[in-house]
Amino acid sequence: MTLPRASSPSALGPGHEFDRIRRIAAALGAHAGALGDDCAVLATGTTGAVLVASTDVSVEGVHFRREWLSLEEIGWRATAGALSDLAAAGAEAGGALVALTVPDDSTDEQVVAAMAGAGAAAADAGTRVVGGDLSSGPGWSLAVTVLGWASAPITRAGVRPGDGLWVTGALGGPRAALEAWQRGEAPDEAARRAFARPVPRIHAGRWLASHGAGAMIDVSDGLGADAGHLAAASGVAIALELERVPVAPPAVAAARRLGLPAEQFAAESGEEYELLVALPPTFSDEDALAFRSVCGLALTRVGDARPGTGVQTRLRGEPLVLAGFDHFAPRRVDALREAR
């Protein structure tokens, strides 16, 4: 099957909306698919693979503040967050559709900047922006739908008692950046990059899927909360040993400032987009080293699955309750809104 060519900017209709789409198409260049059509048409990929799709919304004042990030970073971050869901399914990325809402006073240059960031994140994951929508509204938001394929998609429901729980990379960088911004300070550069330009672990997810992963989730709500999602979907208990949590260097000083153990600070950090994965008891430290050599990431065992329900967390043998992120929790005050 041959993919349709990207629409020529001159083939789009008249009007300011399409003028902007022409500018977006020009900015995306080879990173764009056929943006002028209502639907994206994708090749089926590997024989026997199924289509995998997910949507993620990023809203100004809830997920980002323009005082903190450039519009290119906002576009990147929104797109990377959506692509991270494909990584957690062990899927290959096939395309992204970006529905962009902008305020009435936005300029063409601002719109193009946000979409250029979206295109760069898609390209970094080996795919393209293949469509979307453009609308006006009270503020900036991006609804990103991602499409991909996998021969056997990984879900949250495959954890079995005896499985090990492993996490990719290191945690705590995005929270360190957020804490600095809330104090009115510039974050450490590594922390800022972790927040502004997260990397969806597409390659890592596919490797893990091919090496026995039973269940997987990206760490977007915090390690404890996301472990809870796996436990609930799989009907098991998960025990986390927080002293094993890999802590990103910027999180150490940030945790010290708050008087928290660094492992707790990192485990409570959201929007990490690292992968939490259940692997069989036979998966060893040697296998983790093989993962690192192929994917360029650490893979650290942080707990195990047992009969029962819920998540139990301990730090050096002592029980510890982790906070997590919930969009609609009663009386929840979002950190970004609180910082206004």
26-65 pLDDT tens trace: 888 877 765 654 445 555 655 678 888 889 999 999 889 9
Q: What is the pLDDT of residue 17?
A: 60
Q: What is the pLDDT of residue 4?
A: 37
Q: What is the pLDDT of residues 164-206, one digit of tens each?
A: 999 999 999 999 999 999 999 999 999 999 999 999 999 999 9
Q: What is the pLDDT of residue 340?
A: 32
Please give the radius of gyration of the chain, using alpha carbons only, rounded to the nearest integer: 20
Residue 325's pLDDT band (cuts 50, 70, 90): low
Q: What is the pLDDT of residue 10?
A: 47
Which residues make up the CATH 3.90.650.10 domain(s) of the chain? 164-326
Which residues make up the CATH 3.30.1330.10 domain(s) of the chain? 15-150
Question: What is the four-CA torsion angle of 34, 36, 42, 43, rounded to 10 degrees?
Answer: -50
As a CATH number, domain 15-150 is: 3.30.1330.10
Residue 16's pLDDT band (cuts 50, 70, 90): confident
As a CATH number, domain 164-326 is: 3.90.650.10
- pLDDT above 70 as % of the chain: 85
Q: What is the pLDDT of residue 31?
A: 74
Residue 242's pLDDT band (cuts 50, 70, 90): very high
What is the amino acid identity at position 142? L
Exposure b/e, 204-238, CB count within 10 A at least 16 = b: bbbbbbeeebbbbbbbbbbbbbbbbbbbeebebbb
C-alpha–C-alpha distance, residues 214 and 242, integer Å:
22
Q: What is the pLDDT of residue 48?
A: 76
- pLDDT above 90 as % of the chain: 73
Is the model more confident about 10 or about 134? 134
Three-state DSSP state, 263: helix
Average pLDDT rounded to a whole number, residues 95-109: 96
C-alpha–C-alpha distance, residues 20 and 102, integer Å:
12
Three-state DSSP state, 7: coil
Terminal Cα distance for the chain, rounded: 50
